[in-house]
């Protein structure tokens, strides 16, 4: 007991008091008391966390679990696929409260991302009324069509050009490079405002939301996982709270407009909670207010409702925007893939401009392969999330981990495992087709592809994400040509990872109309 309190690493690794000792990656900055604090802090500030974790994995061997120490805490990285399935699908430990609590500083710690498993199930059930319906898929594709195609030759008469479309038009007319990721963020924010609020926001609202979300993500990189963040990252925590205040004002205004629309009859009032399943067509604000007004999980805690809206807005726009930008970047250097994708679209879809519908997507298998390969090569939630075991656990691999152990299942180490994905650094959509790569290699195991994680805490917005990506990519490629522009001075590469997402940086493109 004394050894554990005074030096938990010694008690674990030398005295063998706390379960199985897993391999540790080689590192020149592994201090006896502080562990890997220095390389983790350096990688976090430099937004290169994914590189660090991938290097650690390569050091111990692909597909092998390993451990590192940060101060007095042991962090276990799960790379064994069988262990990962057991932990996420059967055991489902909650997110680590001490490590992840800083997410709650945005608005409130009682957000869907942080609550315990029993409560999480209830919140998730409410969200699914708005996220997993065919009406929602229709909303997504209609929004994509409006934002990208409205006001173009051949589009429905009378439709005005969206401001996202005007930005694209201006870049084409001037021949100026376009910041592809920033523009894609504006598009996906527009889509998510439709899904959450059934609204088309003006440009100033999109600009403000983008800034608030960016502040939240960047500041989170400076506090999550860091020792004594209350002392080390006061400025970052202040930025998180300021972003939360801006979003609360945004959501309060949306609630006011919704209640006014119900009162004046311009929008149907949803049936009360407890009534038969509500009709399709309810947006997220409908189902959340329906629950709140019916005395459900959101009753009496308006800030909790706002916190969950913030999480859905972030998860629904940020990740898909980065995926779209990564996909277009990959296609600029793979013209054969782009040509094949366009040929499939021209064969299966009406002539452009055509608003893609959810019914079109099953007829585009190569588009599905491009989506899967983009998500494999560029896993947006690259590092997964930190969980904490609530009881002593024996994994299928035989390792024994005590209660309180911090575990994470990095997506990037699974998706870049050369033993599972041959030539992992290459963009090869064919690996997802029945014939595979044509070299006799077996198709990738489903358990190794986990862009949304798996189990009860997997991403609840998967339908929205895949529909946005596929409809957006095929619509853009049929209307425009993209060519990578020279980077800005000092720009290096396109990979950048905060603690939350992997995203492109300095990715500029020249856009032309496709004729």
pLDDT per residue rounded down to tens, the chain (515 residues):
544 544 688 888 887 888 999 999 988 788 887 889 888 878 877 778 888 999 999 999 999 999 999 878 899 999 999 999 999 999 999 988 877 888 888 999 999 989 888 999 999 999 999 999 999 999 999 999 999 988 777 665 457 899 999 999 999 999 999 999 999 999 999 999 999 999 999 999 999 999 999 999 888 877 765 555 555 577 888 999 999 999 999 999 999 999 999 999 999 999 888 777 666 789 999 999 999 999 999 998 899 999 999 999 999 999 999 999 999 999 999 999 999 999 999 999 999 888 999 999 999 999 999 999 999 999 999 988 899 999 999 999 999 999 999 999 999 999 999 999 999 999 999 999 988 877 777 778 888 999 998 888 899 999 999 999 999 999 999 999 999 998 776 555 556 665 578 888 888 999 999 97
pLDDT of residue 5: 47
CA pair distance 496, 488, nearest whole angstrom: 15
Answer yes or no: are the C-beta atoms of 340 and 366 closer than 8 Å: yes
pLDDT of residue 377: 96
pLDDT of residue 32: 81
Q: How many CB atoms lie within 10 A of CB 131?
A: 24
Residue 202 neighbours by CB under 8 Å, 6+ apart? none
| Residue 27, annotated as binding a ligand | no
Question: 267: which 2 tokens?
Answer: 């929008």
Please name each of the domains of the chain with its CATH number.
18-513 (1.10.630.10)
pLDDT of residue 7: 64
Question: 292: which 2 tokens?
Answer: 């709140």
Answer yes or no: are the C-beta atoms of 503 and 496 closer than 8 Å: yes
SS3 percent helix, strand, coil of the chain, rounded to 5, is 50, 10, 40
pLDDT, one tens digit per residue, over 131-176 is: 999 999 999 999 999 999 887 776 654 578 999 999 999 999 999 9
Question: 160: which 2 tokens?
Answer: 């005005």
CA pair distance 62, 155, nearest whole angstrom: 50
Helices (H), 198-334: 203-223, 229-232, 234-264, 284-293, 302-332
pLDDT of residue 232: 52
């Amino acid at each position: 007991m004394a050894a554990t309190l005074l030096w938990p690493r010694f008690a674990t690794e030398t005295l063998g008091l706390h379960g199985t000792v897993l391999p540790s990656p080689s590192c020149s900055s592994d201090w006896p008391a502080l562990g890997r604090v220095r390389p983790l802090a350096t990688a976090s500030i430099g937004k290169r966390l994914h590189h660090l974790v991938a290097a650690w994995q390569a050091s111990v061997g692909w597909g092998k679990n390993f451990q590192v120490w940060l101060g007095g805490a042991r962090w276990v990285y799960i790379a064994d696929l069988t262990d990962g399935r057991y932990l996420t699908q059967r055991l489902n430990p909650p997110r680590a409260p001490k490590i992840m609590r800083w997410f709650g500083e945005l608005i409130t710690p009682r957000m869907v991302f942080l609550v315990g498993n029993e409560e999480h199930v209830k919140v998730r059930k409410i969200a699914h009324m708005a996220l997993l319906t065919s009406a929602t898929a229709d909303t997504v594709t209609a929004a994509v069509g409006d934002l990208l195609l409205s006001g173009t030759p051949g589009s429905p008469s009378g439709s005005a050009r969206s401001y996202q479309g005007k930005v694209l038009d201006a870049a084409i007319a001037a021949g100026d490079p376009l910041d592809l990721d920033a523009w894609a963020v504006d598009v996906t924010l527009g889509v998510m405002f439709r899904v959450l609020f059934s609204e088309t926001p003006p440009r100033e609202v999109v600009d403000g939301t983008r800034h608030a979300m960016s502040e939240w993500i960047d500041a989170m990189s400076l506090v999550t996982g860091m020792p004594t963040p209350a002392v080390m990252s006061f400025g970052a925590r202040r930025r998180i709270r300021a972003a939360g205040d801006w979003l609360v004002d945004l959501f309060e205004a949306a609630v006011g407009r919704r209640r006014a629309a119900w009162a004046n009859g311009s929008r149907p009032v949803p049936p009360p909670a407890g009534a038969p399943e509500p009709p399709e067509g309810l947006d997220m604000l409908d189902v959340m207010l329906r629950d709140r007004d019916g005395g459900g999980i959101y009753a009496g805690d308006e800030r909790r409702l706002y916190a969950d809206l913030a999480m859905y807005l972030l998860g629904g726009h940020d990740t898909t925007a980065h995926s779209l930008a990564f996909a277009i970047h990959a296609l600029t250097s793979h013209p054969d893939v782009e040509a094949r994708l366009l040929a499939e679209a021209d064969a299966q879809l009406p002539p452009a401009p055509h608003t893609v519908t959810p019914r079109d997507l099953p007829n585009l298998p190569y588009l599905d392969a491009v989506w899967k390969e983009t998500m494999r090569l560029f896993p947006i939630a690259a590092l997964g999330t930190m969980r904490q075991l609530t009881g002593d656990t024996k994994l299928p691999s035989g390792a024994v981990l005590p209660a309180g152990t911090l575990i994470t299942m990095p997506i990037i180490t699974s998706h870049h495992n050369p033993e599972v994905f041959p030539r992992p650094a290459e963009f090869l959509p064919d690996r997802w087709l029945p014939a595979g790569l044509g070299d006799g290699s077996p198709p990738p195991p489903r358990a190794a592809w986990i862009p949304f994680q798996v189990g009860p805490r997997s991403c609840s917005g998967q339908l929205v994400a895949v529909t946005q990506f596929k409809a957006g990519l095929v619509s853009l490629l049929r209307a425009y040509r993209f060519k990578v522009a020279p980077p800005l001075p000092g720009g290096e590469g396109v990979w950048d990872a905060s603690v939350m997402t992997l995203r492109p940086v300095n990715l500029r493109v020249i856009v032309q109309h496709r004729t």
